[in-house]
A and B are shown apart, each in its own frame.
Chain A
Amino acid sequence: MSAALVLLLLAADGDVASRVQAKLVQREVLTGTFEQSKQVKGFKRPFRSSGTYEVKKGAGVKWNTAAPFASQLTVTADEIRSMQGSEQLFALDAKTEPTVKVITQLLFSLLAGDFAVLSQHFDARGAVEGEGWSIELVPKAGPLTRAFTRISLKGDAFVRSVTLHEESGDVTLISLAPAP
């Protein structure tokens, strides 16, 4: 279920789906830089990290954090893997963990703009103003509610920001800067 979020970070959809979709630039490979700011309950300041990302349509997502600690997250149809240098932090294999397959399928259908899949998991509300748009996703009853209360997306021709309101009370703001 957690991987479902990744795709939400990177793909914007919603109730106003078709209008938003019309605005989004479709690319086979999408790369860019990100900044993540996570406000964790109990911390004085938000915890910040930054790095680059790469989305290959239908193939996978790479999320490379450069600072403060270098680490790489890879999501493909077959696995979800997190590495720190050569040390594997954790890995989920679709062969042994069938849910991985479901998650990644959801991810790719989202990236392909398959709103039917999205609406199975979220209720979406949104607004379009000029070039810009915003969408708010509320997970439907199910395992996703254990992780998130809601997810906000903002963007124009690209997704520009994702805000994750986690069940634990933590709030994560991810700003995306796609390479031109």
Chain B
Amino acid sequence: MNPRLTFFWTLAFAALVAHQVYLWTGGLQVETDLLRLLPQGERDEVAEGALRALADSASRQVVVLVGGPDAATEAARFEAAVDASVLAPVPLPASPEDSLLEALLPHRDRLLTAGQRSQLAALSAEQLTERALLQLQQPMAARLGDFRDDPLQLFPEFLRERAQASRVRPVDGQLRVGDEVLLRFEVKGAGMSLGSEPRLQQALDAAKARVATDTTLLVAGVPLFAETASVQANNEVNTIGLGSLLAIILVMWLAFRSPRPLILVVLSVGTGVAAGLSACVLVFGKVHLMTLVFGASLVGVAEDYGIHYFAARQARPEVERHQLLELLKPALLLAMVTSVAGYVMLAITPMPGLRQVALFSGAGLAAAFLTVLAFFPFLDSGQVRSTRFSRVWAGTRAKWPSLSGARLAVALALVLLVAGVGIFRLRAQDDVRALQASPPHLLAAQKALAERIGLPSPAQFFVVRGADEGERLAREEALLERLDAFISEGQLLRYDAVSQWVPSPRRQEENRAVWAKARAAVLEGLKDELDGEAPPFIESEQLGVDAVLGTSVGAALRPLRLADANVVMLHSPSREALERFATLGALPGVKFVDRTGEISSLMRRWRVGMSELLVAGYFVIFAALWWRFRAQAWRALLPTALASLAALGVVGFLDEPFSLFHVLALWLLLGMGVDYGIFLLEHPDDGGEAWLAVGLGAVSTLLSFGLLAISSTQAVHAFGVTLGVGVTLVWLGSPLFVPLEAAPRPVRASPPPA
């Protein structure tokens, strides 16, 4: 009996209710971007900056490629039909090409493509002269400037070749990609909210219905993926939350046949979930959708304390309820601490998403525990009826077989053998791409569109650093020469880089020299044809990046140029190329950033690391159990250990890809599974009420976590399968190791402080 605890917890409860009212009346911000769950990677400010810039520009855009016999008309019709309050068209920049020409023209003698440089070096003076005349006889030669300045028309050729790198052209106020029209939209409204309605998809489908049937539409964009994930997760939250709530109500009703235990257990669980939500919002500002999916499963764990209390009340009507709670407290506390310890292990992983889950669950469990401790004896007046269901269930405890001696050894060997075979079959899968659950049609459209309009890979690129702009560009050029080898091998389609438009100062001087030599050769060859002295070679100043940023290519160049580094984007690199790119990091100032590969390797390291740590975790939990149960401690831990191995074995037999998430699920299993052993060891001589409480708890835990297995998100699914198998085995296996007659009373000399 602790009135002070009740008093303080009542205050905390009131604050919690107030916060929840605030949250549910509009203060709750739900994040749906799955990428936010991924680790930041090795801290590299520059690479992170580049990634952020890429992500920001991409995260709100939806693009539609319209094809068909009359693409221009249908595109206009489609654009007009899209609900602008959901997706607003992005306007085209006005008359872009002129400014680029004007920006580059004064520096034209400094601009050559790689092809031009090698060609000019290879041709003789006569060949150069012939080439100049050949161009002169072209009836359609749109010459730029005085013949004598640029007799070989190197500058128009440079422009033409550079322009071909981008397939998207503004024509008649539309963006054309070949015969097709590209439409760009931006998602309107303040981010995405937790919704079950696919608003974007509906807006696009409505517009789709308006265009001619022979029109082809390719739709892609990050918001569509986010929306699909959001709708999907929303359904999962509802299914899992509702499923586990119904499970609790069902088992509570069967066991107690009275509304009071039911209401109080739901109160403790509700307080737990609310506290988890509030804690996340207070610490992180908002809560991620995936946290809610996991949080829904918390329901299945948090009810254990309340159930345990009522099972004891039902079995011992003669004991005063405050006193009873004092007797239960050590076991409840130990169970809560071991469970929270399991969640704390999630918090130390590099994944921000799991940190939220850990906080949500840790705070939730603690709050549910405190609610039982502080409120239950006060609110639970009267008797808890005995029911036939409870008696039958409790009675099975006495009939449950127990293992010892040779039978124990044989059972252990058998479980280890079977689990071992399954574990041997495990296939590790750390590739984050495989863990995504995006619908195939969206992925296919995204890929097709990236190929058609030439989108670079957003997750793999080079970062080039240097003391100043000039050094960066020079180092970038050194890198590009190496990348050219990949292009000629067919391992890379092409790249986007600043130095393609603005060569390094040294390269500019070289180009100018090559240009001047070729021009002089042509003018010398045509000396007899020319009238008097040729005008002097144009004087030009060095071309700077800033001059080009203001033009139409500025939009394409800006993401490639960070405050103190350049980014080289890659188009369609092969897997082999990605593996070999890391070696290019040996070039001065060059770093290859492989976001996907980085996260995958991070996942692998954490999978291995957390697996090893799990063994250490068993020792820590064993120490905690030893403190209370001494030589009998192994009886509480062994079922969980065996169930974990068996769960791994099942994953192996199911041929599921084995990832970090399975290992993390085993951590949770350690925290929860040990509870069952604790409850049974604490009450070796009871009438089976601990067994009843464990069973009721396990069934509802199973229903809630087992429901995670239906999730289409691979990570959530992994939790569901591992915990579903694990919890079942711990529940059914625990009594095997706690024989009723053999178990001594636990040490009660030093109960932990309340």
Chain A positions near chain B (C-beta within 8 angstroms): 1-3, 5-6, 9, 36, 38, 40-45, 47, 49, 63, 65, 68-69, 71, 73, 80, 82, 84, 89-90, 92, 94-99, 101-102, 143, 146-147, 166, 168-170, 172, 174
B141-152 vs A, CB cutoff 8 Å, 1 = contact: the mask equals: 111111110000
Selected contact of A73 from candidates B138, B526, B534, CB within 8 Å: B138
A172, closest chain B residue (CB): B139
For the complex, give the distance between the alpha carbons of A102 and B534 in Å.
38
Which of B138, B172, B177 has the largest number of chain A CB atoms within 10 A? B138
For the complex, give the distance between the alpha carbons of A166 and B97 in Å.
20
A166, closest chain B residue (CB): B143
Top 9 nearest A-B pairs by Cβ distance?
A98-B176, A2-B142, A49-B137, A95-B178, A44-B531, A2-B140, A147-B142, A98-B169, A42-B148
B163-181 vs A, CB cutoff 8 Å, 1 = contact: the mask equals: 1100101011000111100
Q: Given A43-B529, A101-B179, do A3 and B147 touch, yes or no (CB 8 Å)?
A: no
Q: How far is the CB of A150 from chain B (nearest CB, A)?
A: 15
Q: Are B134 and A36 closer than 8 Å at their CB atoms?
A: no
B399 lies within 8 A of chain A by Cβ = no
Q: Are B143 and A42 closer than 8 Å at their CB atoms?
A: no
B123-141 vs A, CB cutoff 8 Å, 1 = contact: the mask equals: 0000000100111111111
Q: Are B137 and A65 closer than 8 Å at their CB atoms?
A: yes
Selected contact of A96 from candidates B157, B178, B529, B534, CB within 8 Å: B178
- Which of chain A's residues have a CB closer than 8 A to the CB of B169? 97-99
B4 lies within 8 A of chain A by Cβ = no
Q: Are B137 and A68 closer than 8 Å at their CB atoms?
A: yes
- Which of chain B's residues have a CB closer than 8 A to the CB of A147? 142
Q: Are A47 and B146 closer than 8 Å at their CB atoms?
A: no
B523, closest chain A residue (CB): A42
Q: Given A69-B130, A99-B171, do A44 and B529 touch, yes or no (CB 8 Å)?
A: yes
B530 lies within 8 A of chain A by Cβ = yes
Q: Are A42 and B171 closer than 8 Å at their CB atoms?
A: no
- Which of chain B's residues have a CB closer than 8 A to the CB of A101? 179
B160 lies within 8 A of chain A by Cβ = yes
Selected contact of B178 from candidates A1, A47, A94, A169, CB within 8 Å: A94
Q: Given A41-B146, A42-B147, A94-B178, do A47 and B138 touch, yes or no (CB 8 Å)?
A: no
Selected contact of B171 from candidates A69, A102, A172, CB within 8 Å: A102
For the complex, give the distance between the alpha carbons of A51 and B148 in Å.
26
- Which of chain A's residues have a CB closer than 8 A to the CB of B141? 2
- Which of chain A's residues have a CB closer than 8 A to the CB of B176? 98
Q: Given A44-B531, A73-B138, do A170 and B178 touch, yes or no (CB 8 Å)?
A: no
- Which of chain B's residues have a CB closer than 8 A to the CB of A99? 169, 171
- Which of chain B's residues have a CB closer than 8 A to the CB of A96? 164, 167, 178
Q: How far is the CB of A96 from chain B (nearest CB, A)?
A: 6
A162, closest chain B residue (CB): B139
For the complex, give the distance between the alpha carbons of A114 and B599 in Å.
60
Which of B172, B176, B535 has the largest number of chain A CB atoms within 10 A? B176
Chain B positions near chain A (C-beta within 8 angstroms): 97, 130, 133-148, 157, 160, 163-164, 167, 169, 171-172, 176-179, 526, 529-531, 534-535
15 intermolecular pairs with C-beta atoms under 8 Å apart: A2-B142, A45-B529, A47-B133, A65-B137, A68-B133, A69-B130, A69-B134, A95-B178, A95-B179, A101-B179, A102-B171, A166-B143, A168-B144, A168-B146, A170-B143
Q: How far is the CB of B174 from chain A (nearest CB, A)?
A: 9
| Consensus secondary structure, chain A interface | mixed
For the complex, give the distance between the alpha carbons of A98 and B171 in Å.
8
Q: Are A174 and B139 closer than 8 Å at their CB atoms?
A: yes
Selected contact of B136 from candidates A38, A94, A143, CB within 8 Å: A38
- Which of chain B's residues have a CB closer than 8 A to the CB of A89? 134-135
- Which of chain B's residues have a CB closer than 8 A to the CB of A38? 136-137
Q: How many A-B residue pairs have CB under 8 A?
A: 98
For the complex, give the distance between the alpha carbons of A15 and B695 in Å.
95
For the complex, give the distance between the alpha carbons of A69 and B134 in Å.
6
B147, closest chain A residue (CB): A40
Q: How far is the CB of A174 from chain B (nearest CB, A)?
A: 7
For the complex, give the distance between the alpha carbons of A168 and B179 in Å.
33
Q: Are B139 and A63 closer than 8 Å at their CB atoms?
A: yes
Which of A40, A42, A89, A99 has the largest number of chain B CB atoms within 10 A? A42
For the complex, give the distance between the alpha carbons of A47 and B139 in Å.
12
A48, closest chain B residue (CB): B137
For the complex, give the distance between the alpha carbons of A34 and B663 in Å.
81
Q: Are A71 and B137 closer than 8 Å at their CB atoms?
A: yes
Q: How far is the CB of B95 from chain A (nearest CB, A)?
A: 10
Which of A36, A90, A166 has the largest number of chain B CB atoms within 10 A? A90
- Which of chain A's residues have a CB closer than 8 A to the CB of B144? 168
- Which of chain B's residues have a CB closer than 8 A to the CB of A6? 139-140
- Which of chain B's residues have a CB closer than 8 A to the CB of A143? 97
B454, closest chain A residue (CB): A96
For the complex, give the distance between the alpha carbons of A109 and B142 in Å.
21
- Which of chain B's residues have a CB closer than 8 A to the CB of A80? 140
Q: How far is the CB of A49 from chain B (nearest CB, A)?
A: 4
A169, closest chain B residue (CB): B146
Q: Are A9 and B139 closer than 8 Å at their CB atoms?
A: yes
For the complex, give the distance between the alpha carbons of A170 and B97 in Å.
24
For the complex, give the distance between the alpha carbons of A44 and B527 in Å.
10
For the complex, give the distance between the alpha carbons of A80 and B160 in Å.
13
Q: Given A69-B134, A71-B137, A98-B177, do A168 and B143 touch, yes or no (CB 8 Å)?
A: yes
For the complex, give the distance between the alpha carbons of A173 and B51 in Å.
56
A34, closest chain B residue (CB): B139
Selected contact of B138 from candidates A1, A82, A169, CB within 8 Å: A82
Q: How far is the CB of B443 from chain A (nearest CB, A)?
A: 25
- Which of chain B's residues have a CB closer than 8 A to the CB of A3? 140
Which of B134, B146, B148, B526 has the largest number of chain A CB atoms within 10 A? B134
Q: How far is the CB of B522 from chain A (nearest CB, A)?
A: 12
Q: Are B530 and A168 closer than 8 Å at their CB atoms?
A: no
Q: Are B530 and A43 closer than 8 Å at their CB atoms?
A: yes
For the complex, give the distance between the alpha carbons of A154 and B425 in Å.
85
Which of B137, B146, B164, B167 has the largest number of chain A CB atoms within 10 A? B137
B176, closest chain A residue (CB): A98
A144, closest chain B residue (CB): B142
For the complex, give the distance between the alpha carbons of A34 and B383 in Å.
114
- Which of chain A's residues have a CB closer than 8 A to the CB of B157? 90
- Which of chain A's residues have a CB closer than 8 A to the CB of B145? 168
For the complex, give the distance between the alpha carbons of A44 and B534 in Å.
12
A41, closest chain B residue (CB): B146
Selected contact of A47 from candidates B137, B143, B167, B177, CB within 8 Å: B137
Q: How far is the CB of B32 from chain A (nearest CB, A)?
A: 37
Q: How far is the CB of B463 from chain A (nearest CB, A)?
A: 29
- Which of chain A's residues have a CB closer than 8 A to the CB of B134? 69, 71, 84, 89
Seed contacts A6-B139, A63-B139, A168-B144; 18 additional CB < 8 Å A-B pairs:
A1-B142, A42-B148, A42-B535, A47-B136, A73-B138, A82-B138, A89-B134, A89-B135, A94-B178, A96-B164, A97-B163, A98-B171, A98-B179, A166-B143, A168-B147, A169-B146, A172-B139, A174-B139
- Which of chain A's residues have a CB closer than 8 A to the CB of B138? 71, 73, 82
Q: How far is the CB of A95 from chain B (nearest CB, A)?
A: 5
Which of B143, B144, B172 has the largest number of chain A CB atoms within 10 A? B143
Q: Are A41 and B147 closer than 8 Å at their CB atoms?
A: yes
- Which of chain A's residues have a CB closer than 8 A to the CB of B135? 89
For the complex, give the distance between the alpha carbons of A174 and B137 in Å.
11
Q: How far is the CB of A117 from chain B (nearest CB, A)?
A: 13
- Which of chain A's residues have a CB closer than 8 A to the CB of B171? 98-99, 102
- Which of chain B's residues have a CB closer than 8 A to the CB of A82? 138
Q: Given A43-B531, A68-B137, do A98 and B178 touch, yes or no (CB 8 Å)?
A: yes
A42, closest chain B residue (CB): B148
- Which of chain B's residues have a CB closer than 8 A to the CB of A169? 146
For the complex, give the distance between the alpha carbons of A92 and B133 in Å.
21
Q: Given A42-B146, A90-B157, do A97 and B530 touch, yes or no (CB 8 Å)?
A: no
Q: Given A90-B157, A96-B167, do A69 and B133 touch, yes or no (CB 8 Å)?
A: yes
Q: How far is the CB of A65 from chain B (nearest CB, A)?
A: 5
Q: How far is the CB of B720 from chain A (nearest CB, A)?
A: 49
